[in-house]
Amino acid sequence: MRLLQVDNITAGYGDVPILTDVSIGVEERETVAVIGPNGAGKSTLLKCIAGLVPVSSGTIRIAGADCTHLVPEARPRLRMTYVPQSSNVFYSLSVRENLQVAMPRFTPKRDFETRIDEVVATFPELAGLLSKEAVFLSGGQRQITAVCAALMRKPRLMLMDEPSAGLSPLLVQRMLEHIVRIRDLGIAVLLVEQNARQALKISNRGYVLDSGRNVITGVGADLLNDERTIELYVGKRR
Amino acid sequence: MDLIPQAFSDAVLLAGLYTLMAVGLSLGFGVVRIINFAHGEMIMLGAYGAFWLFTLFGVDPLISLPALIVVGYVVGWLLFKGFIAKVLDAPHINQILLTFGLGLAIQHIAIILWTGNARSATPVYATSSFLIGDVLVVHGRLVAFAVAVVMVAALIAWLRWSETGLATRAVAENRAAATLMGVDVRRIYALSFGVSCALGVATGVVVSFILTITPFMGFPMLVKAIAIVILGGLGSIPGTVIGALVLAFAETFASYYLPEGSGWAEGIAFVLIIGILILRPRGILGEAVET
């Protein structure tokens, strides 16, 4: 049984479907990239899985449980968390509070503190920032905060929507390292990226989406060497 | 005799009451993003509740306050579940008309039940007073000020340190992100609307021994509360305190120093609303609100 199984979903806003008959899957501990041109429906696919965009047909299963029409706020309970592309931290809250909001209700304080220590062990960059208000963080620190908030629930699967968008080349490198760190914790990652080459390098497998449909599926490294993929979606190395 | 110390003292005590009056409205808007035009009627209901408990059973308004706050919370929660929840994604005009209509309905039910007669709760401290130097302090006003300070401090503490308060702040800032963190946004909406109405009822309990109680008392108070939150910026508690201070000082000094001043004072809220909308539409401490 796959950790995430998306079967033939059609979805969109109003009557116009953005995704048509799209299927993808993620195994435990696997990093999977979804790439494709602008407007291909990559982010919409992620939003469907997170419950933000209604699905008109097809099914989404987490570890076998059908959650196609489950309200979005219930999905973190299935140990699936989502890092949005933008506005992914609460600016008026401190970093510690940002992490606290992500915890289930009625979590004992001791468990929260333990979890913070665990997350900070993975992301030591956060150690000195806990009491800082998020509005004063740099772009890179904000991304780490968002990722750590998504880690608080001990997810099995993390959805990441263009984590490198808007970051400088140096910060993009760091972000990829962060994803590798998450992968090394044994968490499966489903990654949507504009930056196809970089994303495929750290992924086990990749899906190419175009005009809201599946086009190519393959092993990450293979896709990087696949003539058609490179020509259409990755861009030739100059 | 120099009137300034007296006016200053009156204004500060009034500002406390005004803060309590406006902070519930501000909380409701800050979280649910709906201006509750029935907030004045919550104040009216609180005033009647305190009045009847005092008149029929001799219960001091300060004793009935906690129970009435709980009732106010329940009423607010039910109003949210029964009405407000249905228009969350509706156009603003529908939301405004709904809460306005609720206010009118409550007002007319009050007329039917209790007639339009003016009433007032009269515990001993309502009219007794003491002197500090030349400054006369009415006990009732001081009590109202103290209640307001305690209530607003409790609200701030709840938002700052409780788990639900934290979730409320998160929802107020970014509803979508809060949902993704697993926060049940509708639960937080219902809860903060309940707290907002409870604060309105608390205001009513306090004014029951300061102002005249009628079914129509809510509207002028709503206008003042709106002036205060527009002044301070909707959804900001420090802004609400500043707005309340500005309105209270402007009204008090106008009534002391203008000829026929107490008449003019009642109109100051309108002048402030118009002025702030022209000069600084986001309020003194407010953030721009996306619509």
> Can you tell me the mean pLDDT for B69-79?
98
Contacts of A89 in chain B (CB under 8 A): 177
> Can you tell me the mean pLDDT for A103-119?
93
Q: What is the DSSP string of B110-158?
A: HHHHH-S--B----GGGT-EEEETTEEEEHHHHHHHHHHHHHHHHHHHH
Inform me whether the C-beta atom of residue A147 falls under 8 Å from chain B C-beta atoms: no
Q: Reply yes or no on whether the pLDDT at A215 is more than 80.
A: no
Residue-averaged pLDDT of chain B: 92
Which tokens hold the place of B131? 């002197």
Complex ipTM value: 0.89
Determine the distance from the C-alpha atom of residue B3 to the mean position of all C-alpha atoms in its chain, rounded to a whole number. 28
Residues in chain A: 238
Inform me whether the C-beta atom of residue B183 falls under 8 Å from chain A C-beta atoms: yes
In tens, the pLDDT along B193-240 reads 999 999 999 999 999 999 999 999 999 999 999 999 988 877 789 999
Confidence of residue B291 (pLDDT cuts 50, 70, 90): very low
In tens, the pLDDT along B125-169 reads 888 889 988 899 999 999 999 999 999 999 999 999 999 999 999
| Predicted local confidence at residue A140, as pLDDT | 87
| Predicted local confidence at residue A95, as pLDDT | 96
Nearest to B29, CA basis, from B196, B151, B159:
B196
Domain of A23?
4-87+157-234
Whether A84 sits inside 8 A of B182 (CB atoms) is no
Contacts of B185 in chain A (CB under 8 A): 73
pLDDT exceeding 90 applies to what percent of chain A? 62
Query: Is A77 a member of any domain?
Result: yes
- Which long-range contacts (C-beta less than 8 Å, at least 24 apart) are formed by A169-177? A171/A139, A171/A140, A171/A143, A172/A198, A174/A140, A175/A140, A175/A143, A176/A201, A176/A202
Residue whose structure tokens are 């205001």? B203
Most confident of A229-233, B69-73, B262-266, B286-290: B69-73
Alpha-carbon gap, residue B120 to B66, rounded angstroms: 20
Query: Is A121 a member of any domain?
Result: no
Residue A83 maps to which CATH number? 3.40.50.300
Confidence of residue A233 (pLDDT cuts 50, 70, 90): low
Choose the CATH number for B4-279 among 3.40.50, 2.60.40, 3.40.5, 1.10.3470: 1.10.3470
Query: Is A218 a member of any domain?
Result: yes
> Domain coordinates of chain B in residue numbers?
4-279
Inform me whether the C-beta atom of residue B173 falls under 8 Å from chain A C-beta atoms: yes
CA of A15, closest CA in chain B: separation in Å? Answer: 19
> Can you tell me the mean pLDDT for A184-194?
93
In tens, the pLDDT along A19-75 reads 999 999 999 999 999 988 888 889 999 999 999 999 999 999 999 999 999 999 999
Q: Could you tell me which chain A residue has the CA closest to the CA of B159?
A: A93
| Predicted local confidence at residue B283, as pLDDT | 65
Across the interface, which of A76, A93, A105 has its CB nearest the CB of B169? A93
Q: Which positions 147-166 of B are in contact with A (Cβ < 8 Å)?
A: 163, 166
DSSP 8-state assignment for residue A36? -
For residues B39 and B200, is the Cβ–Cβ distance under 8 A? yes
Q: From residue A112, give the alpha-carbon distance in Å to each of A65, A127, A198, B35.
A: 27, 15, 34, 36
Whether B183 sits inside 8 A of A101 (CB atoms) is yes
Q: Reply yes or no on whether the pLDDT at B281 is more than 80.
A: no
Query: Is A100 a member of any domain?
Result: no
Which tokens hold the place of B21? 């009056």
Alpha-carbon gap, residue B252 to B260, rounded angstroms: 12
Confidence of residue A220 (pLDDT cuts 50, 70, 90): low
Helix axes B139-161, B185-207, angle to 10 degrees: 170
Q: How many independent structural domains does chain A possess?
A: 1
Residue whose structure tokens are 């949005």? A84
Nearest to B245, CA basis, from B5, B46, B18:
B18
Whether A92 sits inside 8 A of B182 (CB atoms) is no
